[in-house]
Amino acid sequence: MAAAKRKPMSRKAKTRLELFGSYTVILIMFVIILYPLLWTLGVSLNTGSGVYGASIIPENFTLEHYEWLFFDPRSNYLLWYQNTLIVAVSVTVIATFMIALTAYAFSRYRFKGRKNGLYAFLLLQMFPVLMAMVALYILLNTVNLLDSLIGLIIIYIGGAIPMNAFLVKGYFDTIPRELDESAKIDGAGHFRIFFQIMLPLAKPILAVVALFNFMAPFMDFILPRIVLRSPENFTLALGLFNFVNDQFANNFTRFAAGAILIAVPIAAVYLFLQRYLISGLTSGATKG
């Protein structure tokens, strides 16, 4: 007796199976990402200073650690927050503008050393940042910018330009050159073309670059550790390290509270830049 032939899976059933698989993967990733955040939030709301007795759902809910960060005279948290915001805003504005100018020059102009310059940008990304730490330390010490926020800002700006300029240059290359030529016929100069045509059309990639530049000072620990020495100049990452290192006697609950508050300005900047991403992606170069 011949085996009955199996009916092929219908397109509707196949679509449902694919959706189920996609949602399953998304759910797993969501849990992996969300669990550490919930755990950190729960620890920050627990009493005491240890991490082993803490739980995601606190038995004794308290905001004492947040109050200590903001109101205790022994806490330098607000000062560290201010330093980090100064560095982040300065790096975001200056670096994004310089990256856009550099990318525009490499995208629209042909000059001697252009090709070698692009290769140099790529080459600089092949070496780990730690290789340059000693040189950066000596350089900042030579120009008396060691243990200063200005020196830290300069290093961040210089490190952000090579790779980001290469990315933005690739985006500028996708913008039709006919727009430049039409603007030149109407009497527009190079800077007017840059500010009124190129920058508005490059909002998506510039928004991404600005967001990454803003996040870096909040997340980076190694560079501030090398550059900064005085507690009044610490950034958040470097200051919070002290909560679990020395003078605060391994206070993980305060560390968790301080870490949670780092997400506030980053989330605010992301929400602000999101509309530029959407508007830039939905408007084409040929639309009026």
Range 217-238 average pLDDT: 92
For residues 49 and 58, the answer to whether their CB atoms sit within 8 Å is: no
For residue range 3-15, list pLDDT tens digits in order: 455 556 677 777 8
HSE (CB half, 13 Å, CA atoms) of 275?
Answer: 4
| Neighbouring C-beta atoms of residue 162, cutoff 10 Å | 19
- Burial, 197: exposed, middle or buried (Cβ in 10 Å; 0-12, 13-18, 19+)? middle
**77-250 belongs to CATH 3.30.70.141:** no
Count CB atoms within 10 A of the CB of residue 216.
18
Residue 181, pLDDT > 90, answer no
- Predicted confidence (pLDDT) at residue 128 exceeds the cutoff of 80: no
DSSP conformational letter for 153: H
Q: Averaging pLDDT over each range in 54-68, 186-200, 264-278, which range is the top one? A: 186-200
pLDDT at residue 6 in the model: 55
pLDDT at residue 288 tops 50: no
Averaged pLDDT for residues 111-120: 84
Phi-psi domain of 147 (left: phi exceeds 0; alpha: psi -120 through 50; beta: other): left
- Per-residue pLDDT, 102: 92
Confirm if 148 and 83 have CB atoms less than 8 A apart. Answer: no
What is the tens place of the pLDDT at every residue in 88-97? 999 999 999 9
Query: What are the extents of the domains in the chain?
Result: 77-250
Which pLDDT score is estimated for 93? 96
Residue type, 253: T
Q: What is the pLDDT of residue 285?
A: 37
- Looking at every residue in the chain, the average pLDDT score rounds to 84
